[in-house]
Structure 1
Amino acid sequence: MSGRLADLGVDVAHLTICGDRPADLLAQLRFLAADGVDLIVTTGGLGPTADDLTVATVAEFAGLPLRQDPQIRQTIDTVIRTWRQVPADATLPDALVAAIDKQALVPVGARAIPPTGTAPGVAVPAADGRPAVLVLPGPPHELQAMWPTAVRTDAVVEAISGRVIGEQRTIRAYGLSEPDLAVTLREADDAVPGLADVEVTTCMRGGELEIVSRFDGTASATYDALADLLIARHGDKVFSTDASTIDDLLVSRLNGRTVATAESCTGGMVAARLTDRAGSSAYLLGGVVSYSNEVKTGVLGVPAELIAELGAVSEPVAAAMAEGARRVTGADIAVSTTGIAGPDGARPGKPVGTVCFGVAVAGRETVTVTRLFPGDRDSVRRLATTAAFHLLAAAL
């Protein structure tokens, strides 16, 4: 929602989370209203159970009585009957009727938004110095489906009218720290005239640094100068200047070639991330989760004496795993991971967080690298998965 609102030129001032208790909900609404916002958007709490109190609480906040919307009630009734395959002339159980009646309650003067699940949304217009309130369902698929209709309601249109729809650009870097970026941004304060017209926010996510800039059309030249400076200082670490993700780049660089994985410490996470995209069957041939040494040797063909001499967490073993994955699947390129995700398993010279990678490409010498990742087991595995994507993309 923050991204969608930003696309409409709306500055999101607060993101808050609170429990399904009327006092807590009211306190949040009153706090936001006191801050002078024009629009409050809520999600969740629209279901039929006793703890779903958002609509009733918003009505209390707005000082509006609740009434049943006959048209919305009929819509919910139809949805329920369709889902449960109940004929239109059959009587629904009393509990179900009560649930439908509850979900069809709408504050007087508000507009009900037809449900995309069973829960309708509500748009309450601003009045008496109170901001407009847009009430949406919590399940993401329902909220996302309802969003286009919700933002076209009169209450929302009036609340956000006059906003300037600006531009947003995203640069992504890998291996660049936020402190190093901060030094460059301080330099940009002097080197780039008018930088105050460009809002820059940064976020470290999965080992990647996301640099998001927002500005209106008059500051395009300023942004271009900033981007040039970032690339001049950190071009070796910038992998995307058009918001493309490493997943996007990897798939585009495969360009008809096939890929396979051999994973130990990541347990199939690299292969799973490759299959997150529709159409992945065109390039992913398969993967081997070789968690045990026996599978490394028996399936991937890693020499047992290599593991005995160097240990499973070593670059030669990572190379043999990647080569084995390419050989058994017939893929054009393969990546391997073998490491110590923790919390136990550290060895002399190999602390928790140590991960060795191998990238085998047809017709080339296999590349290996060792990285040390911070954090707990989950963090190490996620960071290693991202690193594997970057190694594949670089090799391609």
Structure 2
Amino acid sequence: MSVRAGIVVTGTEVLTGRVADANGPWVADRLLELGVELAHITICGDRAADIEAQLRFLAAEGVDLIVTTGGLGPTADDMTVEIVARFCGRELTLDIELEAKIAAILKKLMARFSGVDFDAVRAANRKQAMVPVGADILDPVGTAPGVVVPGAPTVLVLPGPPRELQAMWPAAIANDAVQRAIVGRTIYRQATVRMFGLAESGLAETLREAESISGFTDLEITTCLRRGEVEMVTRYEPHSVAAYEKLMDLVRARHGDMVFSEDGSLIDDLVARLLSGRRIATAESCTAGLLVARLTDQPGASAYVAGAVVAYANEAKADVLGVDSALIDAHGAVSQEVAEAMAAGALRRFGADTAVAITGIAGPGGGTEAKPVGTVWFCVALADGTAVSRAVRLPGERADIRERSTTVAMHLLRRILLGLRD
């Protein structure tokens, strides 16, 4: 059996959803890279009994390493080190050298403020220098040190702020006690394949057929539907490469045109690469600028995004994009004709060579029998005169329709830039 680990995310603010947990998924990915099997991620509030219960649970599960995040600050609700010490049967002791390090960090921080009683601040932070007897100390990135308590299981205690945790991670993994805990790890391979235009049930049928492949049971496959795309993540040991390759042969044979990424790249990444050397403009109605937000959420986006117009009112479509009002009157704002006119207007207004227009009905009202809520028209237009329009009917609430609309637009844009035609 491979080395197994568990993660305990502490913090009432995380438990109640006021703060989204960024540490659990990040640490999970790092453990995977190390070849450590993640058994559980638990989240609990800042309550001593609950934290200790999570530690006992993971120990009973037989994990080799427990990673805790959060609860290392100077306030009363920061109690992780104390609870870990008790769980491991160790006393807490004041580390004088660590206290001096924390004091030096605090002094530098407090220099920016006037009228601060440094001695009072230092006294309040002294609890951060209390560590379990025999534990290894990880130097603080902020003011909170990390702690490694050797044992069975070994417990790695990390700070809650993601910036501090991530900066401390290399030192934590290099620690001798942590290395001993994960010495039997297996190096896994992981591959992410993304598909668009395929129902998750369609992939499920393919995977059922794949069960006849020799070695298929050695592949750990997870699938999920994300932004209207189907994502398949496969984890396997090196000896299962042949089984994975046969699986992918089957996936390509059955869904080849729908597979747009085999290396984990997102559609946003692929479109950004295809836009290199081009200038794109967008004209959006129902998506309220979400498409241009995705296009610009890439390094160097200013090199290819010329501009964007968000036009809800028909007057705005006419005044800003030059859409003929008679066209709107004749066909309605949600129509192929208006989508094409919006794209052409974006090309002209920004002097772009590529444009995407989206106009639709996201709801909750405004739909008709002919054009129900979820009806969306798209147009991708190029300066050479190429223009491709599509209409879709998207399910869900307003937020779902808007998000899925941007995904459809990104995929339509990718196909046009690749010279693909349906």
Q: Same fold (TM over 0.5)?
A: yes
Q: Equivalent residue for 2:42?
A: 16
Do structure 1's residue 4 and structure 2's residue 30 form an aligned pair?
Answer: yes
Q: CA deviation at 1:32?
A: 1.2
User: What's the secondary structure of 1:256's corresponding residue?
Assistant: coil
Alignment of 1:222-261 (within 5 A): 222-261=243-282
Moved more, 234-243 or 209-218: 209-218
* Cα distance between partner residues in 2 of 1:371 and 1:75: 61
CA distance in 1 between partners of 2:140 and 2:230 (Å): 38
Shift of 1:354: 2.4
Q: 1:164 — aligned with what?
A: 186
Range that drifts further, 220-229 or 307-316: 307-316
- Does residue 106 (structure 1) correspond to residue 128 (structure 2)? The answer is no
Q: Is 2:302 the counterpart of 1:281?
A: yes
Identity of aligned residues (%): 56
Compared with structure 1, are the counterparts of its residues 44 and 379 closer, same or farther at alpha carbon in structure 2 (3 Å cutoff)?
farther
Q: CA-to-partner distance for each residue in 1:40-75, whole Å, 9 max, x for gaps?
A: 112222222222222222222212222233333333
User: Does residue 318 of the first structure (1) align with residue 317 of the second (2)?
Assistant: no
CA contact (8 A) 1:125 1:154 kept: no
What is residue 368 of structure 1 aligned with on the other side?
389
User: Aligned match of 1:382 in 397, 403, 417?
Assistant: 403
CA deviations over 1:238-290 (Å, ceiling 9, x no partner): 00111111112111212311111111222111111222212111111121111
The 5-angstrom pairing of residues 62-77 of structure 1 reads 62-77=88-103
Matched, 1:131 2:156: no
1:185 maps to: 207
Other-structure match for 1:299: 320
Q: Which residue of 2 aligns with 1:336?
A: 357
CA shift for structure 1 position 25:
1.1
Residues 1:195 and 1:23: Cα distance change in structure 2 (over 3 Å):
same
Q: Could you tell me how far 1:94 is from its partner in structure 2?
A: 4.7
Contact 2:106 2:122 in 1 (8 A): no
In structure 1, what is the equivalent of residue 122 of structure 2?
A: 97
Q: Which runs of 5+ in 1 are unaligned?
A: none
Compared with structure 1, are the counterparts of its residues 361 and 91 closer, same or farther at alpha carbon in structure 2 (3 Å cutoff)? Answer: closer
Q: 1:95 to 1:261 in 2, by over 3 A?
A: farther
Q: Report the counterpart of residue 53 of structure 1 in structure 2.
A: 79
C-alpha contact 2:28 2:38 (8 A) present in aligned 1? yes
Q: Map Cα deviations across residues 296-344 of structure 1 (whole Å, 9 max, x no partner).
A: 1111111112222322222221221121111111111111222222233
Does the 8 Å CA contact 1:198/1:213 hold for their aligned counterparts?
Answer: yes
CA shift in 2, pair 1:264/1:74, >3 Å: farther
Residue 236 of structure 1 aligns to a residue whose secondary structure is helix
Q: In the alignment, what sits opposite 2:142? A: 117
Q: CA deviation at 1:97?
A: 1.7
- What CA RMSD, in Å, does the superposition of the two structures yield over aligned residues? 1.9
> Which blocks of at least 5 consecutive residues in structure 2 are unaligned?
1-26, 418-422
Cα contact 1:260–1:334 (8 A) shared by 2: yes
Q: TM-score w.r.t. structure 2 length?
A: 0.87
Aligned residue for 2:395, secondary structure, equals coil
Return closer, same or farther for 1:297/1:83 CA change in 2, 3 Å cut-off.
farther
